[in-house]
Amino acid sequence: MATPTPSRSRWPLVAVLLIVATFVGYVTHVKKGDEAPTPSPAPSAPPSTAPASSTGATPSPAVSGPGVFYPSQGHAHWERPKLKTFVYNSTPPTSGPHEEVFADGYINTKPLSRAIQAHLLEHGSVLIQYNCSCPSLVSKLTDISRSFDTYNPQMAMEMGKAVIIAPNSSLPKNKIALTAWTRLLMLDRYDEKAIKGFITAWLGNDKNSRQ
């Protein structure tokens, strides 16, 4: 009787196949890992709704209105020697440290110091300043001032209800500047509508002067 030949085991073949499959999987994984991930597109920023300013200043997002907005430099009360070195962020100033002094009246023939200007604006008053030898312009500005000024000057300044006129040689020649707290409107010529609109918007405006 012939001796049966033992059957050949399949395990070596299975082991080879497992080794090959593992190697292929490893190589595929390494190649994928070497590829740089594709970055997701960055979300586009929403367009700014703030109007552009020729001076570079940004209009107030909280209080809109005529004139260019300048960030508040505070309401601090300083002595005159210290004020001489302070740099205001606008010309004329629209906020900042000041001394506790008012103007002499509604219509001034001499310039007001920057510290007095800031004090007047802090209370809510509006200043109209000019740099020219122009009696006819001053007369027109005076008429506008009187149409708003209904109190005793010192009382009106204390209440923030004064429209004050003064010359200012620090302005560009033949320019008119209207200021309120944190607001500046510069005009090349007399514009009654623009001047009255600025005054109406900011005179005695507590929300603006508290910034």
- pLDDT tens for 143-167 read 999 999 888 999 999 999 999 999 9
- How far is Cα of residue 23 from the mean position of the Cα atoms in its chain? 63
Q: Which residues pair with 32 in a beta bridge?
A: none
Q: Which residue blocks in the chain are alpha helix, DSSP H?
A: 11-34, 80-83, 114-123, 135-148, 153-159, 192-202, 206-209
Q: Mind listing the pLDDT tens digit for each residue in 25-83?
A: 544 544 444 444 444 443 333 333 333 333 344 444 446 899 999 999 988 877 777 77
- In which band, very low, low, confident or very high, does the pLDDT at 92 lie, cut at 50, 70 and 90? very high
Give the strand pairing for 68-69 and 126-130. unpaired
pLDDT for 7: 47
Helix crossing, 135-148 with 192-202: angle to 10°? Answer: 40
- How far is Cα of residue 58 from the mean position of the Cα atoms in its chain? 4
Q: How far apart are CA 103 and CA 156, in angstroms?
A: 11
CATH class of 68-209: alpha beta
**In a 10 Å sphere around its CB, with 0-12 CB exposed, 13-18 middle and 19+ buried, how is residue 38 labelled?**
exposed
* pTM, entire model: 0.69
Q: Which residues contact 205 (CB under 8 A, 6 or more apart)?
A: 124, 180, 181
